[in-house]
A and B are shown apart, each in its own frame.
Chain A
């Protein structure tokens, strides 16, 4: 059942992004940033965790999951380590994704040339 909800909820979030592109002509960077902020807000309002239980990758795969993960990691590290957690939590939680994105971007950038469109 979680597969169905992952598809439906994930699809809806992406359709919302498409709606923003059509109606506001925002750039992709701006859309990504808005969804990260949305995810962070949902996490702070404690709405994100129940959504995650319900739809799994449907909410964590869209970039909203990145914002929520940053906030979640920050809060967890504050609970564990106190004050220093404010600075260490967010990027620690998201480190795998960022590291893989950097290294694979570098690798592919070195291997392939940009094709002309």
Chain B
């Protein structure tokens, strides 16, 4: 059986309802995480009336990142991830989870050469690609700005 035949076979035996079910789980959990973000947003706006929206947004993301990191340490986030799949990977909490779980996994190789060196094993590409693309867009924006 070659690769294409195998893929077709897998497709045939994977029940359709399972796909919909996992999409629904990702939708619900992902949606709830975003809802929590929106709730924190409203709360911080009330508590810190002289912060602007950018600062409130940064505070909300930071809270979610910290929460996900603690839950990862306690082993709870992995359970959520097992249930929700993409619903736990796509939100900013998934980014935090990937950093903390790498930090924990490589702890046995030491704090500096294990934890510190390997933290960004999965999250690193996100920052590298994000920064590169933002800079490229910025360069374009700057050059266009010169002629307008």
Q: Chain A interface (Cβ within 8 Å of chain B)?
A: 2-3, 6-22, 28-29, 31-33, 35-37, 40, 43-44, 56-58, 60-63, 65-67, 69-71, 73-75, 78, 82-83, 85-87, 89-91, 93-98, 100-102, 104-115, 117
> Is there an interface contact between B30 and A37, defined as CB atoms closer than 8 Å?
no
Main secondary structure, interface of A, reads: helix
> Is there an interface contact between B138 and A78, defined as CB atoms closer than 8 Å?
yes
Contacts of B122 in A (CB 8 A): 28-29, 32
Q: How far is the CA of A89 from the CA of B85 in the complex (A)?
A: 33
Chain B residues 68 to 112 lying within 8 A of chain A, measured CB to CB, are: 69-70, 72-75, 78, 84-87, 89-96, 98-108, 111
Contacts of B69 in A (CB 8 A): 101, 104-105, 107-108
The one of B22, B60, B103 in contact with A18, judged by C-beta atoms closer than 8 angstroms, is: B22
Q: How far is the CA of A115 from the CA of B133 in the complex (A)?
A: 36
> Is there an interface contact between B95 and A109, defined as CB atoms closer than 8 Å?
no
* A-B residue pair count with CB separations less than 8 angstroms: 281
> Is there an interface contact between A61 and B92, defined as CB atoms closer than 8 Å?
yes
> Is there an interface contact between B89 and A61, defined as CB atoms closer than 8 Å?
no
Main secondary structure, interface of B, reads: helix
Q: How far is the CA of A94 from the CA of B70 in the complex (A)?
A: 21
> Is there an interface contact between A10 and B85, defined as CB atoms closer than 8 Å?
no
Query: 1/0 per position for B13-56, CB-CB distance to A under 8 A?
Result: 00000010011111111111111111111000000000000100
Contacts of B141 in A (CB 8 A): 74-75, 78
Closest to B122 in A: A29
The one of B35, B85, B104, B126 in contact with A66, judged by C-beta atoms closer than 8 angstroms, is: B126
The one of A13, A33, A44 in contact with B125, judged by C-beta atoms closer than 8 angstroms, is: A33
> Is there an interface contact between A18 and B85, defined as CB atoms closer than 8 Å?
yes
